Amino acid sequence: MLQATDLRELSAEQLEAKLAELREERFKLRFRSATESIENPMRFRTVRRDIARVLTILGEKRREA
């Protein structure tokens, strides 16, 4: 799980990259869950919350600028 304090230290470009990475992971998890069983179903929740956390901090940075 990503911590908000760690994310606030990243630049907007790094946050965008992290967001793309998390969305790719969410896509792969959904695809894998449709074809086979997943070893850690709670990962869906953590990835979804990490995406929300990154989007929140990215919005904060955009409003500051």
Radius of gyration of the chain (CA): 13
Q: Where are the alpha helices (DSSP H) in 1-65?
A: 4-8, 12-35, 43-64
The pLDDT assigned to 14 comes to 96
**Whole-structure pTM value:** 0.90
Q: What is the mean pLDDT of each run of 10 residues along the chain (65 residues)?
A: 90 96 96 90 94 96 89
Instruction: Show the domains of the chain with their CATH numbers.
Output: 4-64 (1.10.287)
Residues 54, 2: contact at Cβ < 8 Å? yes
Closest CA to 1 of 31, 30, 22, 32: 22
Count of Cβ atoms closer than 10 Å to residue 7 Cβ: 19
The pLDDT assigned to 49 comes to 96
44 contacts: CB under 8 Å, gap ≥ 6: 26, 29, 33
